Amino acid sequence: MTTQAASIVGDYKYGFHDDVAAVFKAKPGLNREIVAQISDMKGEPAWMRAFRLQAYDLFEQKEMPRWAAEGALDGIDFQSIHYYVRAADRNARDWDDVPEYIKNTFDKLGIPEAEKKFLAGVGAQYDSEVVYHNIREDLAKQGVIFLDMDGGLRDYPEIVREHFGTVIPAADNKFAALNSAVWSGGSFVYVPAGVKVEIPLQAYFRINTESMGQFERTLIICEPGSYVHYVEGCTAPIYSTSSLHSAVVEIIVKEGARCRYTTIQNWSNNVYNLVTKRAVARKDAVMEWVDGNLGSKLTMKYPSVYMTEPGAHAEILSLAFAGPGQHQDAGGKVVHGAPNTTSTIISKSISKGGGRTSYRGLVKVYPGCDDAVSNVRCDALMIDEDSRSDTYPTMEIDADRVTIGHEATVGKLGEEQLFYLMSRGLPEAEAAKMIVNGFVEPIVKELPMEYAVELNRLIELQMEGSVG
């Protein structure tokens, strides 16, 4: 197999198993051979290789999703994308081993020095691969596993095999199929029963190769009674050609466990950000998605929770900011598949300079799932006349004694609010920023402090020049 791979990529001497720092880059484009090659180079078990190949066939068969906007995804040229890139040849064990250029990236992201000591473990996906990964000793002692997904598959093949693809099958949608075929990197988190991870697990991602696809795959398993907060933050430099980011995140929250997954994404304006995120919440389990989307050309992302047993609770907080040329099609899905399940969706979106935001949400209550309670609130703020906001809420309620609340507001930047702040001496632009930051506060206050600061700063940058 290695020989075959080598023939495809040419000079393979700086390849995957070499200890010398090297760069491997698959040829652009996708076919069965490239998929097989990715699996072979990673030395994966046969079942994963088969899974990838089957997923590839599904990807070929599946239609492009059409709901965000007709033709919106036509700009993706699957044959010009590199499906696998490695930046460095092995995982660094501690901070000193992290290459200087990666540290520079962190500096650019403005990650404060003080924060590092809080890091439970850092998984930074640099290109397609996790190059730095470190688990704090006490976490390891608790039996918590926090690895990149490739490492998880290598070291814990049984746990991975039992759960991988069970929440989001490859057949779920075209991009889930694509990810299943070519996935690389992402995180594998396993929290044993009863273990509460006190500090957030954090990972930083970025894309750095032009025209490179990023297909990370994350699997989080929370055993009964456990708790974990996983945080993923992301910024990307500007690129000249279109990029595709298509991740899959699967989470299984078992009885009485609680999981929070926080994302801040700020892709450059040429990135198609098409992510499938789904969690299963079992008996009395709590799943919380906090999802902030800035940047990208088009984002399509609807974190979902399937409540499969009584007492499960789902919470989805979604924040979207669309600037010029951007379309954020975001929202959430809650599926009540058992009685006495509860859910909340809060969505806040801002569009400016011709940007477009769409809230797309689903509340589904299956027959027999009585006493379900769901509250949906979506607020959209349009900064100027050119911008656009739409709401597409779907309710499919097939049970009795169900309590469903839905509230939606769409508004412009309030004239009275602007006047109030300006009458205190704040220039218009500053007043507008303050109102916008206040608007997103219900979501920002749920973020870890440094992310909240970073997000407010990002929003201020986005707002600059938009008024006055």
Partner 1 sequence: MTNASPTLEVRDLHVEVAGKPILNGVDLIVNKGEIHALMGPNGSGKSTLANTLMGHPKYTVTAGDIRFEGESVLEWTADQRARAGMFLSFQYPTAIPGVTMVNFLRHALNAREGRDLPVREFRTRLMDTMKQLKMDQQFARRYVNEGFSGGEKKRAEILQLQLFKPSIAILDETDSGLDVDALRVVAEGVNQVAAQEPKPGILLITHYYRILNLIQPDVAHVLVRGRIVKTGGRELAMEVENHGYERIMAELGLTAGEGDTAEALHAAAT
CB distance 76 to 118 below 8 Å: no
**Nearest distance in Å: CB 414, partner 1:** 7
| 440 makes contact with partner 1 (CB under 8 A) | yes
Taking CB under 8 A as the criterion, the residue among 438, 449, 457, 464 binding partner 1 is 438
**Nearest distance in Å: CB 459, partner 1:** 12
Among candidate residues 227, 224, 302, 298, the one with its CA nearest the CA of residue 263: 302
| 424 makes contact with partner 1 (CB under 8 A) | yes
Closer of 95 and 420 to partner 1 (Cβ): 420
- d(CA 7, CA 252) in angstroms, rounded, equals 40
Closer of 342 and 466 to partner 1 (Cβ): 466
| 385 makes contact with partner 1 (CB under 8 A) | no
Closer of 79 and 423 to partner 1 (Cβ): 423
Range 11-19 contact pairs with CB under 8 angstroms and sequence separation of 24 or more: 14/89, 15/41, 16/41, 16/42, 16/86, 16/89, 17/43, 18/89, 19/89, 19/90
- d(CA 440, CA 455) in angstroms, rounded, equals 10
**Nearest distance in Å: CB 41, partner 1:** 49
**Nearest distance in Å: CB 379, partner 1:** 10
From the list 5-13, 119-127, 245-253, 408-416, the region that binds partner 1 by CB under 8 A is: 408-416
- d(CA 208, CA 55) in angstroms, rounded, equals 26
**Nearest distance in Å: CB 415, partner 1:** 7
From the list 114-122, 190-198, 219-227, 419-427, the region that binds partner 1 by CB under 8 A is: 419-427
Amino acid at 179: N
CB distance 282 to 309 below 8 Å: yes
| 414 makes contact with partner 1 (CB under 8 A) | yes
Total residues binding partner 1 (CB under 8 A): 24
One DSSP character per residue, 388-416 reads: EEEEEEEEEE-SSS-EEEEEEEEEEPPHH
Q: What are phi and psi of 328, to 5 degrees?
A: -110, 110
**Nearest distance in Å: CB 439, partner 1:** 6
- d(CA 251, CA 272) in angstroms, rounded, equals 23
**Nearest distance in Å: CB 15, partner 1:** 52
Coil, strand or helix: which one is 430?
helix
Closer of 373 and 426 to partner 1 (Cβ): 426
Closer of 384 and 430 to partner 1 (Cβ): 430
Taking CB under 8 A as the criterion, the residue among 115, 430, 450, 460 binding partner 1 is 430
| 417 makes contact with partner 1 (CB under 8 A) | yes
| 81 makes contact with partner 1 (CB under 8 A) | no
CB distance 77 to 242 below 8 Å: yes
Closer of 37 and 344 to partner 1 (Cβ): 344
Among candidate residues 402, 255, 256, 409, the one with its CA nearest the CA of residue 334: 402
- d(CA 372, CA 181) in angstroms, rounded, equals 37
Among candidate residues 189, 262, 259, the one with its CA nearest the CA of residue 226: 259
| 420 makes contact with partner 1 (CB under 8 A) | yes
| 428 makes contact with partner 1 (CB under 8 A) | yes
Taking CB under 8 A as the criterion, the residue among 159, 395, 422, 453 binding partner 1 is 422
**Nearest distance in Å: CB 442, partner 1:** 7
Q: Which of residues 140-179 bind partner 1 (CB under 8 A)?
A: none
3-state secondary structure 168-181: CCHHHCHHHHHHHH
The tally of CA atoms less than 13 A away on the side-chain side of residue 356 is 15
Taking CB under 8 A as the criterion, the residue among 437, 450, 452, 460 binding partner 1 is 437
Among candidate residues 236, 211, 127, 217, the one with its CA nearest the CA of residue 175: 217
- ∠ Cα 35 40 46 (to 5°): 90
Closer of 157 and 442 to partner 1 (Cβ): 442
| 419 makes contact with partner 1 (CB under 8 A) | yes
**Nearest distance in Å: CB 428, partner 1:** 7
Taking CB under 8 A as the criterion, the residue among 57, 90, 442, 452 binding partner 1 is 442
**Angle (deg, nearest 10), helices 428-444 and 415-422:** 120
Coil, strand or helix: which one is 295?
strand
Closer of 166 and 409 to partner 1 (Cβ): 409
| 411 makes contact with partner 1 (CB under 8 A) | no
Among candidate residues 270, 262, 269, the one with its CA nearest the CA of residue 316: 262
CB distance 370 to 400 below 8 Å: yes
Closer of 325 and 427 to partner 1 (Cβ): 427
Taking CB under 8 A as the criterion, the residue among 431, 432, 463, 467 binding partner 1 is 431
Closer of 306 and 451 to partner 1 (Cβ): 451
| 15 makes contact with partner 1 (CB under 8 A) | no
Residues at the contact surface with partner 1, assessed by CB under 8 A:
414-417, 419-428, 430-431, 434-435, 437-442
